[in-house]
Amino acid sequence: MGKSKMKLSRRQFLKAATATGVLLGGGGAVALTQKAYASGEVGVPNLKTVRTTCSPNCTGACGMNAVVENDQIKSIIQAADYPDPEYNPRGCLKGLSMMNLIYGPDRLKTPLIQKGKAGKDELQEASWNEALDFTAQRLKEIAEKYGPESIGVAFQVGGTGYVHKGAFSRLATLAGWSLHHAYDQNGDLPMFWPMTFGVQSEELEPAEWLNSSYVAVFGSNIMATRLPDAHFLVEARNKGAKMVVFDPNYSPTAAKADEWVQINGSSDAAVGLGIAKIIVEENLYKADFIRTFTDLPILIRTDNGKRIKADEVQGLVKPADVPTYREAYVVYNGQFIIVNPEKLDLPLDTLLEGEVEVPLKTGETVKAKPTFQLLKESLAKYTPEYVQQESGIKPETLKKVAHEMATAKALHVIYGASNYQWYHGDLKGRALALLPVLTGNIGKPGTGISTYAGQYRIRFKLAEWWTPEGRAQNWVPFLYVLNGPTKTMKAKWPKNGIKALVLGWGNPFDQHNMANKLRDMVDKGDLELIVTMDFQKTTTTEYSHVVLPAVSWYEKTEMVATPVHPFLQLQQPAIKPLYEGKSELWIIRELAKRYNPDFEKYFYPGLDENQAAEKVIELLLQTGGPNVAGITLEQLKKGPVRLKSTVPGNRQIPFYDQIQNKKPFPPVSLPAKIEQTAQFVKSGRIEFYKDEDAFLQAGEALPTHKPPFVESEYALNPQAKEKYTFAYITRNAIYRVHSTHSNNVWMNELQDGKPRVWLNPQDAAEKGIKEGDTVELYNDRGTLTVFAVVDPGVGRKVAVFEEGWWARYLKGQSYNSLTYPFIKPTNEVYFVPGIWAPNTAWNECLCDVRKVGDAQ
């Protein structure tokens, strides 16, 4: 290569170097790159780069450039083309090594059909026609025999692919099959959200972290599970924000924090309420804020614990304009005032503490107290000493953080998934929500409470594509499939149960095989048909009767928008589908027409799979509503586009409208209609008091702390208390997206290819376990063989396992055989798919640990 190429001008390098700076990210670098690739200069091969979006279930949705040479992806690098440069470069080690999956040994080549026993016998290669005909035939039989609703469909996070997953939803809707919403199935639905704010979930966009002055992280491992956004937290800290991590285990996130506060598993509610007590008793709360935006002034009957409705009180009439899904309650400021659920305008002298006698229309007078008064009373028991006993946190630490939070200019609480994936995850969230609310840290830059689980929030209207002709859909929470129906359930259970599963974008036979139920149901024949679309052989494909080879996000056209960052992006084919792989839209179209010829017309027949996908994208953009208004396919082909929001600058700040413009709670949670979600917070306010019977019976009307396992494991089997004393905590690894990349050769090199359990040194010593030993984690439901990491950062009596290993790497055992599909009654009070539904509690699981071999 010529001298000219070798010599870099100083300017060039300045440019390149500054390009890596905090502000410009890799942006500048990419500019350089694309120039270099574009100019077909001698020595440089004819490489083309194709911009697509990496979107597995981590929901990171990172823009990637695939470097392609004669239809092969040679390497992948962040596109780093986000218009807000601070978001560049988004990406991680998994996304950059996708070639290992795309071209790897587990890639599906052809359709497969199980002619023998699923999970036992070899699957047989088949042609697309065979496979599709067979599948359609079996589905029809099952639909006829048990009803179409006995066919269950699961396709994971909507936001990672609106087109192809939409096609799936579209067919299921047309055919009247049941749909399993991924959010609760995954345990990612933070139930405190609908209970407290009436929404599915909300979060600050990561760039907003820079505006916080205090970040309280409760069991979220941002530095491992939000790799592309982690830098915002470090930068916030270096800008002076204080970062405190509450976690039983010392994590990379704890390592970057100013402080790590070690607490016992599932004791966060105790901590949160302990802090709330200090804030309340020392009058550090914002009285006007809670009067205006919360239900804390609302009067509660002391006899039956119900909120007093305006209609019940003498001389009060519920305003006519109150929608049916809301309720008008009563507060007191010398006289009784009706709380209009559509307005946030209570007088600032409204009573918060004390007791009043309320004359009812029935003639009787009842005693009532403002919610705040009851809260204060219920907080009495959360003395620093009690909190210490429950959580292990030192009283002085508790007081310190309480004062810091109360006085913080902008307090942001991050509530981690692992943390709410416990039986009482809802209670913990409700308790932690008190901190930003009492201190008035809601709806302002850098404030609030956020959950960064797999991000499910739908960003725009989908109905036109997802639910043809507004037809009704049958949603069945997946926990019922594993647990069986309950008496208290609101969701409609198919009369013959679920007999077949049609799956895509998921690997439930590792990830959701709680207590080994899925395998057992296949073995017993309760599940008569499993159809799986995937681009590689997984544990689930092994247990399937039909396997349909799909394609990765480098082989198809798709549109992506996950809430973790506010950009709408495309997936664009960088290469032709490998082997016989086909995109899901194509697969579903072919299946639909075989299942029922009338269905074909719903899927752009005659168009090639990528053209069809583009048509769908155009449809979605046209009908997607205000958030995508004006955005075109052409624009997206040029690069990512920021979604619109009601916040100036289209920033992503939850409840901005509610707080700044006094709009009633909740904001809409798409795709649900407001009447579905507003019923959760009938007062139109942030609610800490739930007076539905299930809550009253459970003693959970107000946020309270309940110790783990009592209502779950011990209720299931009282012996568990003695037999199994280790909490089986399954966190996420940087090397996998759940089970995706389990088989990625580089990821495994980086872990020596060994699944591990992290143990506290004292526990390890007591069990005679040394670093690297082979150990078994076991309970009545299953046994897991792994290698020990003795880690001084791990709390006592916890066995931390990094979830996602395929059974292949665990002697055929699926790591979820230890867990159990507990269902909490308060999660069944309402049912709105993926918004108020029974949420899976992965970490509500006990086990014991034993050594089986020495380290080699």
Partner 1 sequence: MRVDSQPAAFSNIGAVNPLGLRPKNLTEKPLNKVIGISIIAILISLSAWGYQLSQGLIVTNMRNPFSWGLYIATFAFFVGIAAGGLIVSSSVYLFDLEKLKPFTRIASLSAFASVLAAGAMILPDMGRIDRILNIFFHPNFRSPLVWDVMVISAYMVVTFLSVYVQLLPDWKSEGRGFFNGWTKSRSLEEVQKFSKKWSKRISLIGLPFAILLHTVTALIFATQASRGWWNTAILPPDFIAVAIASGTALVMLIGLLVAGKERFTEYNDAFKILASIVAGALVVHFFFVFVDLVIHGWWGKQEAHELFSLLFGRYSLVYATELLLPGFTMFYFFSARGKRSYQSLIFGSVLLFSGVFAHRMMLMFPAFNAIPLTLSLPAAGIESWAYPISVGQLRDGMPSFVTSWSYVPSLVEGLLAILPFGIVTFVVSLALKLYAFLPEKH
Partner 2 sequence: MRLGMVIDLDKCIGCRTCTVSCKSHNAQPPGIWWNRVFTPGSEFHQAAVGNDGHLQMNFLPVSCQMCDNAPCEKVCPVGATYTDERGVVLVDYDRCIGCRYCLAACPYNVRQFNWEDPKKAKARVGYEQGYEYGYPTDVRDKEGQLVYTPSRPVGVVEKCTFCFQYTSKGELPACVRSCPAKARFFGDLDDPESEVSRLIRERQAIRLKEELGTQPKVYYLPASKPNR
Positions in the binding site for ligand SF4 (CB under 6 A): 54-56, 58, 60-62, 90-92, 94-95, 227-228, 737
Minimum distance between the CB of residue 97 and partner 1, rounded to whole angstroms?
14
Select from 31, 32, 607, 745 the one that contacts partner 1 (CB under 8 A): 745
Rounded to whole angstroms, how far apart are CA atoms 441 and 55? Answer: 32
Backbone angles phi, psi at 466, to 5 degrees: -80, -35
Among partner 2, ligand MGD, Mo ion, none, the one that 33 touches (CB under a kind-dependent 5 to 8 A) is partner 2
- Closest to Mo ion by CB, 114 vs 455, is 455
Minimum distance between the CB of residue 453 and Mo ion, rounded to whole angstroms?
5
Residues 111-140 interacting with ligand MGD (rule: CB under 6 A): none
Task: Print burial letters for 626-642: b (CB count within 10 Å at least 16), e (below 16).
Answer: ebbeebeeeebeeebbb
Q: Does 749 help bind partner 1 (rule: CB under 8 A)?
A: yes
Q: Does 507 help bind ligand MGD (rule: CB under 6 A)?
A: yes
33: Cβ contacts below 8 Å, ≥ 6 apart:
49, 65, 77
Q: Does 750 help bind partner 1 (rule: CB under 8 A)?
A: yes
Helices (H) and strands (E) in the chain, counts: 33, 30
Q: Residue 411: beta bridge partners?
A: 214
Q: Does 201 help bind ligand MGD (rule: CB under 6 A)?
A: no
Number of residues engaging ligand MGD in binding (CB under 6 A): 59
Q: Does 563 help bind partner 2 (rule: CB under 8 A)?
A: no
Q: Does 160 help bind Mo ion (rule: CB under 5 A)?
A: no
Site string for ligand MGD, 291-330 (x = CB under 6 A): ----------------------------------------
64 token code pair = 């990637």
Q: Does 731 help bind ligand MGD (rule: CB under 6 A)?
A: yes
Q: Does 74 help bind partner 2 (rule: CB under 8 A)?
A: yes
- Residue number of the CB atom closest to ligand MGD: 219
Pairing relationship of beta strands 782-790 and 641-642 according to DSSP bridges: unpaired
Stretch that binds partner 1, among 181-189, 506-514, 573-581, 745-753 (CB under 8 A): 745-753
Site string for partner 1, 817-856 (x = CB under 8 A): ---------------------------------------x
Burial of 37 (0-12, 13-18, 19+ CB in 10 A): middle
Stretch that binds ligand MGD, among 19-27, 260-268, 316-324, 715-723 (CB under 6 A): 260-268
Rounded to whole angstroms, how far apart are CA atoms 704 and 379? Answer: 8
Of 415, 421, 270, which Cα lies nearest the Cα of 838?
A: 421
Q: Does 58 help bind ligand MGD (rule: CB under 6 A)?
A: yes
Minimum distance between the CB of residue 53 and ligand SF4, rounded to whole angstroms?
8
Among partner 1, Mo ion, ligand SF4, none, the one that 794 touches (CB under a kind-dependent 5 to 8 A) is none
Q: Are 189 and 183 in contact, with CB atoms under 8 Å apart? A: yes
Q: Does 453 help bind ligand MGD (rule: CB under 6 A)?
A: yes
Residue 740 C-beta-side C-alpha neighbours within 13 Å: 21
Minimum distance between the CB of residue 73 and ligand SF4, rounded to whole angstroms?
14
- What kind and span of H or E run contains 218? strand 214-218
321 token code pair = 């304009």
608 token code pair = 């090639």
483 token code pair = 């647990």
Q: Does 459 help bind ligand MGD (rule: CB under 6 A)?
A: no
Minimum distance between the CB of residue 275 and partner 2, rounded to whole angstroms?
21
Total number of residues shown for the chain: 856
- Closest to Mo ion by CB, 446 vs 454, is 454
Q: Does 186 help bind Mo ion (rule: CB under 5 A)?
A: yes
Q: What is each CA distance from 400 to 237, 278, 440, 468, 522, in whole angstroms?
A: 18, 10, 19, 55, 54
Site string for partner 2, 578-617 (x = CB under 8 A): x---------------------------------------
Among ligand MGD, Mo ion, partner 1, none, the one that 752 touches (CB under a kind-dependent 5 to 8 A) is partner 1
Burial of 564 (0-12, 13-18, 19+ CB in 10 A): buried
- Closest to partner 1 by CB, 470 vs 792, is 792
- What kind and span of H or E run contains 217? strand 214-218
- Closest to Mo ion by CB, 157 vs 352, is 157
Minimum distance between the CB of residue 752 and partner 1, rounded to whole angstroms?
4
Q: Does 533 help bind ligand MGD (rule: CB under 6 A)?
A: yes
- Residue number of the CB atom closest to ligand SF4: 95
Select from 116, 626, 718, 753 the one that contacts partner 1 (CB under 8 A): 753
Minimum distance between the CB of residue 791 and partner 1, rounded to whole angstroms?
13
Q: Are 690 and 329 in contact, with CB atoms under 8 Å apart? A: no
Of 548, 626, 555, 556, which Cα lies nearest the Cα of 588?
A: 548
Of 416, 384, 374, which Cα lies nearest the Cα of 703?
A: 374
Query: Tokens 């429950």 sit at which residue?
Result: 390
Task: Print burial letters for 151-171: b (CB count within 10 Å at least 16), e (below 16).
Answer: bbbbbbbbbbbbbbbbbbbbb
Rounded to whole angstroms, how far apart are CA atoms 576 and 53? Answer: 16
Q: Does 258 help bind partner 2 (rule: CB under 8 A)?
A: yes
Rounded to whole angstroms, how far apart are CA atoms 369 and 299? Answer: 5
Q: Are 807 and 510 in contact, with CB atoms under 8 Å apart? A: yes
Q: Does 435 help bind ligand MGD (rule: CB under 6 A)?
A: no
Q: Does 188 help bind Mo ion (rule: CB under 5 A)?
A: yes
Look at phi and psi of residue 525 and say left if phi exceeds 0, alpha if psi is from -120 to 50, else beta: left
Rounded to whole angstroms, how far apart are CA atoms 743 and 672? Answer: 37
Q: Does 258 help bind partner 1 (rule: CB under 8 A)?
A: no
Stretch that binds ligand MGD, among 119-127, 263-271, 650-658, 765-773 (CB under 6 A): 263-271
Minimum distance between the CB of residue 750 and partner 1, rounded to whole angstroms?
7
Q: Please tell me whether residue 501 adopts helix, strand or coil conformation.
A: strand
Minimum distance between the CB of residue 504 and ligand MGD, rounded to whole angstroms?
4
Q: Are 168 and 175 in contact, with CB atoms under 8 Å apart? A: no
- Closest to ligand MGD by CB, 148 vs 219, is 219
Q: Does 802 help bind Mo ion (rule: CB under 5 A)?
A: no
Residues 806-825 interacting with partner 2 (rule: CB under 8 A): none
Q: Does 819 help bind ligand MGD (rule: CB under 6 A)?
A: yes
Backbone angles phi, psi at 357, to 5 degrees: -100, 130
Residues 669-708 interacting with ligand MGD (rule: CB under 6 A): none
Rounded to whole angstroms, how far apart are CA atoms 519 and 807? Answer: 12
- Closest to ligand MGD by CB, 68 vs 245, is 245
Pairing relationship of beta strands 411-415 and 329-332 according to DSSP bridges: unpaired
88: Cβ contacts below 8 Å, ≥ 6 apart:
24, 25, 26, 27, 30, 78, 80, 81, 82
Q: Does 812 help bind partner 1 (rule: CB under 8 A)?
A: no
Q: Does 573 help bind ligand MGD (rule: CB under 6 A)?
A: no
Residues 107-126 interacting with partner 2 (rule: CB under 8 A): 107
Q: Are 506 and 154 in contact, with CB atoms under 8 Å apart? A: yes
- What kind and span of H or E run contains 571? strand 567-571
Q: Does 806 help bind ligand MGD (rule: CB under 6 A)?
A: no
DSSP type of residue 577: P
Minimum distance between the CB of residue 587 and ligand MGD, rounded to whole angstroms?
8
Q: Does 211 help bind ligand MGD (rule: CB under 6 A)?
A: no
User: Which parts of this chain interact with partner 1 (CB under 8 A)?
Assistant: 745, 749-750, 752-753, 856
Contact positions vs Mo ion (CB under 5 A): 186, 188, 453-454
Footprint of ligand MGD (CB under 6 A): 56-58, 156, 186-188, 218-221, 224-225, 246-249, 251, 263, 265-266, 268, 416-419, 422, 453-454, 504-508, 511, 533-536, 538, 550, 552-553, 584, 729-732, 734, 736-740, 803, 816, 819, 842-843
